[in-house]
Structure 1
Amino acid sequence: MLTLRVQERKQQENKRIEEAEDRITEAEEQIQQTGEVLIELLKRQTQLKSKITDQEGRSRRDNIRIYGVPENSENGSSTIEFIEKLLKDGLDLDPSTELHIQRAHRALAPKPKDNARPRSIVVKFLRFKTKKDILGKVWRKGGLTWNNTRIT
């Protein structure tokens, strides 16, 4: 009777050990699969980060940054209208010339004190060719002045 109980206990212990080993094996497999998935996700994240960086660079190709325009020069008009007038007057462009400015705004920085350098203006043209033509005219002219202020 005693040996029967000992055998029964050993069988129960062996069964519990087998179950534990099975669970451990399953857990190890899940950990390995999770590691593989994590590696794939990290690779994908790197690819997507690279694509985003490329897209951001491409979207900035049509931008120019204008320095030296005093704060509040827009006098209540939109920045786009002001930049069109500034470029047409400063570069002696035909008033009917379409510049195709998509967006224009001051740099996203706190407004400077009165004696500090003004924030730059970021201008996004709809077409790269327009941007290139404007820059070419500024370089050929040797710069741009507005209200006795040098604009770069």
Structure 2
Amino acid sequence: MEAISDLLDKKLATHSQTITTELHRSFAVIETKLDTLQSTVSTNSLKITELESTLNNHDQRLEALETTCSALASKNTQLAAQVLDLQSRSRRNTIRVLGLPEGVEGAQPVAFFGRMLEEMFRDVLGGVPEIERAHRSLGPKPAPHQRPRPVLIRLLRFQEKDRIIREARAKREN
């Protein structure tokens, strides 16, 4: 019986050794896979942290850009209103004359239109009005059978322009 007991003890020891070796080998494989998995998780965690930091940075920059864009849009609206006002004011002393044939003014349009306005509105003006500039409107010169371009006359004083316009309307009604 002792022989059977010794044999069983040896077999048990051999099987125990084999099982222990297999368990160590399996645990080693599992530990390797866990190390790889832990390394991957750690790398991904660093990437996520980097992405969060970059995202926060982009959010801050975007907020700053939105604030700047809003301020610039407001300033642009204000500047557009100022430009419109300045354009309107610059046209305040301007008279537009329609229907004069092309080239009738010759080489000195300011002198020609000064004399023309004096002749037409002598009783209202009392002399030659002071003209800053006079020219045809921009655009190509029309063909002989087409309508002539309007003439723009900028007077030095608004009061003269106002008297000329009132008198021209009165003459047109009569």
Q: Distance in 1 between matches of 2:85 and 2:125?
A: 36
Higher RCO (Cα < 8 Å, 6 or more apart): 1
Structure 1 position 67 matched with structure 2 position 135:
no
More strand by share: 1
Task: Give the match for residue 82 of structure 1.
Answer: 112
Identity of aligned residues (%): 28
Structure 1 position 55 matched with structure 2 position 77:
no
Secondary structure of 1:86 counterpart:
helix
Conserved in 1, the CA contact under 8 Å of 2:124 and 2:163?
no
TM-score by length of 2: 0.69
Q: Deviation digits for residues 17-55 of structure 1, max 9, x if unmatched?
A: 212211111112212221222222122212211211111
Task: Give the match for residue 51 of structure 2.
Answer: 20
**Shift of the alpha carbon at 1:102?**
0.6
Q: Distance in 1 between matches of 2:36 and 2:58?
A: 32
Conserved in 2, the CA contact under 8 Å of 1:87 and 1:93?
no
TM-score by length of 1: 0.77
Deviates most, 91-100 or 37-46: 91-100
Structure 1 position 91 matched with structure 2 position 126:
no
Return 5+ residue gaps in structure 2 as ranges: 1-30
What letter matches 2:150 in structure 1? Answer: S
Task: Give the match for residue 134 of structure 1.
Answer: 164
Q: Distance in 2 between matches of 1:58 and 1:64?
A: 13
More helix by share: 2
Q: Distance in 1 between matches of 2:39 and 2:98?
A: 89
Secondary structure of 1:64 counterpart:
strand
**Shift of the alpha carbon at 1:61?**
0.8
Secondary structure of 1:132 counterpart:
helix
Conserved in 2, the CA contact under 8 Å of 1:80 and 1:104?
yes
Q: Deviation digits for residues 42-94 of structure 1, max 9, x if unmatched?
A: 222122112111111111011010112122212x3311111011111222359
